[in-house]
A and B are shown apart, each in its own frame.
Chain A
Amino acid sequence: MRMHPQIRSMVCRVACVAILAIWGICAALPASAVAAQVRIGVLRVDRPVLVPVSRFDAKPDDLGFAGGMLGNDDNQTTGSFLGHEYVLETRAIPPDETQEGVRSLTDNGAVFLVVLGTGDDVLTAADAAGPDVLVFNAGAPDANLRDTDCRANLFHVAPSRAMLADAIAQFLVWKKWDRWLLIEGSNPDDGKLAGAYRRAAAKFGAQIVDERVFEDTGGSRRADSGIVLVQRQVPVFTQKAPDHDVIVAADESDVFALYLPYHSWEPRPVAGSGGLRPVNFDATIEAWGATQFQGRFEKLAGRYIHPEDYNVWLASRVIGEAVTRTSSADPRKVRDYLLSDEFELAAFKGQKVTFRPWNGQLRQPILLTDSKITVSVSPQDGFLHQRSPLDTMGLDQPESACTAFQTRSNP
């Protein structure tokens, strides 16, 4: 998809708005209000990818960046009343240039970085940025980043695989679809996702009655003539499974999961990577003021929102909210504030989102979508936790081996 022309002129527009606003509206502020500049860098690590199974899953050129623009717009409107100026800079880079990408942004003065990439990319970026820069992971779902490999300067707005798997598991258990047929892909990330589903099944009392691996044999995913083949392969692949209520698909590589609904041997619903999917956000949600948010995004970007856009918007709003409340753009002060009980943010998901102080993960509801509408939102009713129902999803404090957050004020 082509970049909307509006976005190209975004950096200029933000700056103009800021100047107008500061001269105009801020005239009313007391003289003590000092203009502070907040520079946020967005780094996206791009890899060659195959054409997705569904045309709807094609990645737009401005993936993530458009969310960053909207977040910056939102921050700037608020900042204009307080004398704060927000500047956004974006970079799309190949994987072997992550460190250079980080440096080019921090050399320009960015003290907040939002990173879209794999878990390894995020760790490389966090380490290259150093302790004086706060890094926000907007894409990687890996458990190790929230566990043994956590970093004191690294926060996660993207949900972990564990959160996503727990969100689906709660819904399936609430439906009393307790017997799962787990099908995983053959790539490493598929295996990690399958692991999250095994963990979720054990956590919420579901039973995995059988596990199968769907081999990724490579090649093109174009379905010019492929539907006939799928229609013959999937029934046979899912044949002779023990009695099950639902098929759970772990297919992060986007190879087979979308083909499972309707083609499975038994007439069973599909959840996970196909059928009912857990997402942080998508274009289906309208509740809790999301209609207005979707409208603002679509007007800016000329397309529907992707989870990556939402995550970058969210990271940007997290930073903006902390700057607004602390009147400081100092990453150390922002970090302390984010980890304190004071921090809370409205994120169009029906309740405030906050950070887990033990590993820097943002607590948030997870949407369950059939890709047309929002089917449900987890946590489900009745899943309780002594701290917050949101902590029924993902790594709870005793389960996380992260120690980098034990001393707060010294990132």
Chain B
Amino acid sequence: MKRPSRMASVAPVVGAGLVGVVTSFLALSGPALANKAFVSNEKGNTVSVIDTDSWETETEFAVGNRPRGIGISPDGKHLYVCASDDDTIQVIDTESYDFLWSLPSGPDPELFVLSPDGAMLYVSNEDDNLVTVVDTSKKTVVAEIPVGVEPEGMAVSPDMRFIVNTSETTNMAHFIASADYKIKHNVLVDQRPRYARFTGDGSTLFVSSEIGGTVSVIDMLGETGPELESKIGFEVSGVQPEWLQPVGMRITSDNKWLFVALGPANRVAVIDVESREVVRYILVGQRVWQLEFTPDEKYLLTTNGNSNDVTVIDVAAQEPIKSIQVGQQPWGVVVTPD
């Protein structure tokens, strides 16, 4: 197995505390400790497994139809995959890749978010204008919350007070109280809001609008509740403005950098959170969709749907360092925790 030397030097840091998860891998490849990245391949109906030390694809296993949203339990043992066309969420063992059981998800689940404690899944059901709340241990639906047309993006505030859903045709961020599952606030954003992400301190929510071409900045500490503070736009010379379509986002845990996948613009924008300004555009694969950090936040992985690969970005350098071939139309990505 090829391994770039700079990768090897990083490996001990990445692998700390992960011995249990990667035992089988260690036996094959020596002393390196690594996490695993799981990539849902929307068209291939598979999940690709990437070793985050060697940056090689370890394997690819079959899942249900049209896998999109993907997540992992806080203990790293269970992988959750939305099989959108099967109207279910599959739970898969992260070591054996065996299918364990299904969770009820409501129809056409696209994207979900886990509560920080892993107890609840909040699922957006695009076809029925619902957010479904699923108890992950009892495997039951706890609540169905009517929201706007074509619910998509999901987020949970760090204090777990609010579940946020974005509806793509209604163009709102809905703030649902986790205490009673009622909508308490609605904030209008630009066209086709795709994704929502809180800063670690919960003071700010970012919502990406794919067709509007902006990221809305929502102040969670407004006088009457969450309120729109500003909008961040994008501009890349030589790229038609129509193709600057923000989708997936990640924020570093020090709340300094916001990374935004720009879809068909084939770039990830880097935003200085404090100044709300775009400082850099990183060229990645085609139709970049979702993002995930490695647990140490040294690397950011991007799924590139049209070039069937994952780009690895060096977070500190804000540079792409490697492309990894995965399955057909990669959609989402998660990385096992340390």
Q: A77-B129, A325-B188, A389-B242 are in contact. Are A344 and B211 (CB under 8 A)?
A: yes
Cross-chain contact A292 with B182 (CB below 8 angstroms): no
User: Given B168, B169, B186, B211, which contacts A81 in the complex, CB threshold below 8 Å?
Assistant: B186
Render A282-312 as a binary contact track against B, CB cut-off 8 A, 1 for contact: 0000000100100110010000000000000
Q: How many angstroms from the CA of A289 to the CA of B211 in the assembled complex?
A: 11
Cβ < 8 Å to A, chain B residues 125-171? 126-127, 129, 146, 148-150, 168-171
Cross-chain contact B242 with A351 (CB below 8 angstroms): yes
- CB-CB nearest in chain A for B184: A28
Cross-chain contact A25 with B242 (CB below 8 angstroms): no
User: Given A299, A345, A352, which contacts B242 in the complex, CB threshold below 8 Å?
Assistant: A352
Q: Does more than half of chain B's interface fall in helix, strand or loop, or is it mixed?
A: loop
Q: A295-B127, A324-B188 are in contact. Are A78 and B211 (CB under 8 A)?
A: no
Residue A12 at the B interface, CB < 8 A? no
Query: Please, which residues of chain B bring their CB within 8 A of the CB of A389?
Result: 240, 242
Q: How many angstroms from the CA of A292 to the CA of B212 in the assembled complex?
A: 19
Residue B191 at the A interface, CB < 8 A? yes
Cβ < 8 Å to B, chain A residues 335-350? 344-346
Cross-chain contact A81 with B148 (CB below 8 angstroms): yes
Residue A218 at the B interface, CB < 8 A? no
Render B162-202 as a binary contact track against A, CB cut-off 8 A, 1 for contact: 00000011111010000000111110101110000000000
Q: How many angstroms from the CA of A84 to the CA of B211 in the assembled complex?
A: 24
- CB-CB nearest in chain B for A28: B184
Query: Please, which residues of chain B bring their CB within 8 A of the CB of A324?
Result: 171, 188
Query: Distance in Å from the Cβ of B123 to the closest Cβ of chain A?
Result: 15
Render B201-217 as a binary contact track against A, CB cut-off 8 A, 1 for contact: 00000000011110000
Query: Please, which residues of chain B bring their CB within 8 A of the CB of A292?
Result: 108, 126-127, 150
Cross-chain contact A81 with B192 (CB below 8 angstroms): no
Residue B224 at the A interface, CB < 8 A? yes
Residue A74 at the B interface, CB < 8 A? yes
Query: Please, which residues of chain A bring their CB within 8 A of the CB of B150?
Result: 289, 292
Q: A28-B182, A77-B170, A289-B168 are in contact. Are A346 and B192 (CB under 8 A)?
A: yes
Residue A388 at the B interface, CB < 8 A? yes
Query: Please, which residues of chain A bring their CB within 8 A of the CB of B149?
Result: 73-74, 77-78
User: Given B170, B171, B185, B192, which contacts A289 in the complex, CB threshold below 8 Å?
Assistant: B192
Residue A48 at the B interface, CB < 8 A? no
Query: Distance in Å from the Cβ of A221 to the closest Cβ of chain B?
Result: 38
- CB-CB nearest in chain B for A347: B211
Cross-chain contact B148 with A346 (CB below 8 angstroms): no
- CB-CB nearest in chain B for A296: B127
Q: How many angstroms from the CA of A388 to the CA of B172 in the assembled complex?
A: 27
Q: How many angstroms from the CA of A345 to the CA of B210 in the assembled complex?
A: 11
Query: Distance in Å from the Cβ of B17 to the closest Cβ of chain A?
Result: 40
Cross-chain contact A345 with B182 (CB below 8 angstroms): no
Cross-chain contact B169 with A74 (CB below 8 angstroms): yes
Q: How many angstroms from the CA of A81 to the CA of B243 in the assembled complex?
A: 30
Render A382-405 as a binary contact track against B, CB cut-off 8 A, 1 for contact: 000000110000000000000000
Query: Please, which residues of chain A bring their CB within 8 A of the CB of B242?
Result: 351-352, 388-389
Cross-chain contact A352 with B211 (CB below 8 angstroms): yes
Query: Distance in Å from the Cβ of B144 to the closest Cβ of chain A?
Result: 14
Cross-chain contact B183 with A346 (CB below 8 angstroms): no
Q: How many angstroms from the CA of A73 to the CA of B188 in the assembled complex?
A: 18
Residue A188 at the B interface, CB < 8 A? no
Residue A5 at the B interface, CB < 8 A? no
Query: Distance in Å from the Cβ of A346 to the closest Cβ of chain B?
Result: 4
Instruction: Count residues on chain B whose CB falls below 8 Å from chain A CBs.
Output: 31
Cross-chain contact B170 with A345 (CB below 8 angstroms): no
Query: Please, which residues of chain B bring their CB within 8 A of the CB of A289?
Result: 150, 168, 192
Query: Please, which residues of chain A bring their CB within 8 A of the CB of B129?
Result: 77
Q: How many angstroms from the CA of A77 to the CA of B184 in the assembled complex?
A: 16
Cβ < 8 Å to B, chain A residues 45-83? 73-74, 77-78, 81-82
Q: How many angstroms from the CA of A324 to the CA of B210 in the assembled complex?
A: 19
Q: How many angstroms from the CA of A30 to the CA of B182 in the assembled complex?
A: 16
- CB-CB nearest in chain B for A30: B224
Query: Distance in Å from the Cβ of B127 to the closest Cβ of chain A?
Result: 5
Cβ < 8 Å to A, chain B residues 203-242? 210-213, 224, 240, 242
Q: A74-B169, A78-B170, A78-B171 are in contact. Are A25 and B188 (CB under 8 A)?
A: no
Q: How many angstroms from the CA of A218 to the CA of B60 in the assembled complex?
A: 61
Render A349-361 as a binary contact track against B, CB cut-off 8 A, 1 for contact: 0011000000000
Q: How many angstroms from the CA of A174 to the CA of B129 in the assembled complex?
A: 40
Cβ < 8 Å to B, chain A residues 363-411? 388-389
Q: How many angstroms from the CA of A279 to the CA of B190 in the assembled complex?
A: 27
Query: Please, which residues of chain A bring their CB within 8 A of the CB of B148?
Result: 77-78, 81
Query: Please, which residues of chain A bring their CB within 8 A of the CB of B172?
Result: 78, 81
Q: A292-B127, A295-B127, A296-B127 are in contact. Are A346 and B168 (CB under 8 A)?
A: yes
User: Given A28, A317, A345, which contacts B183 in the complex, CB threshold below 8 Å?
Assistant: A28
- CB-CB nearest in chain B for A17: B146
Query: Please, which residues of chain B bring their CB within 8 A of the CB of A28?
Result: 182-186
Query: Please, which residues of chain A bring their CB within 8 A of the CB of B174?
Result: 81
Cross-chain contact B146 with A25 (CB below 8 angstroms): yes
Q: How many angstroms from the CA of A73 to the CA of B146 in the assembled complex?
A: 14
Render B247-274 as a binary contact track against A, CB cut-off 8 A, 1 for contact: 0000000000000000000000000000
Q: How many angstroms from the CA of A78 to the CA of B191 in the assembled complex?
A: 13
Query: Please, which residues of chain B bring their CB within 8 A of the CB of A317?
Result: 169
Query: Distance in Å from the Cβ of B254 to the closest Cβ of chain A?
Result: 34
User: Given B126, B185, B188, B191, which contacts A346 in the complex, CB threshold below 8 Å?
Assistant: B191
Query: Distance in Å from the Cβ of B228 to the closest Cβ of chain A?
Result: 13
Query: Distance in Å from the Cβ of A48 to the closest Cβ of chain B?
Result: 37
Q: How many angstroms from the CA of A296 to the CA of B185 in the assembled complex?
A: 26
Cross-chain contact A345 with B191 (CB below 8 angstroms): yes
- CB-CB nearest in chain B for A79: B170
Q: How many angstroms from the CA of A29 to the CA of B185 in the assembled complex?
A: 7
Q: How many angstroms from the CA of A388 to the CA of B241 in the assembled complex?
A: 9
Query: Please, which residues of chain A bring their CB within 8 A of the CB of B146?
Result: 25
Q: How many angstroms from the CA of A299 to the CA of B108 in the assembled complex?
A: 14
Q: How many angstroms from the CA of A217 to the CA of B211 in the assembled complex?
A: 48
Binding site for B on A (CB under 8 A): 25, 28-30, 73-74, 77-78, 81-82, 289, 292, 295-296, 299, 317, 321, 324-325, 344-346, 351-352, 388-389
Q: Could you list some 14 contacts between A and B, CB below 8 A?
A: A29-B186, A73-B149, A74-B169, A77-B170, A81-B170, A295-B127, A317-B169, A324-B188, A325-B188, A344-B191, A346-B210, A351-B211, A352-B191, A352-B213
Binding site for A on B (CB under 8 A): 108, 126-127, 129, 146, 148-150, 168-172, 174, 182-186, 188, 190-192, 210-213, 224, 240, 242-243
A-B pairs, 9 with minimum CB distance: A346-B211, A78-B170, A346-B191, A346-B192, A351-B242, A81-B186, A352-B211, A292-B126, A77-B149
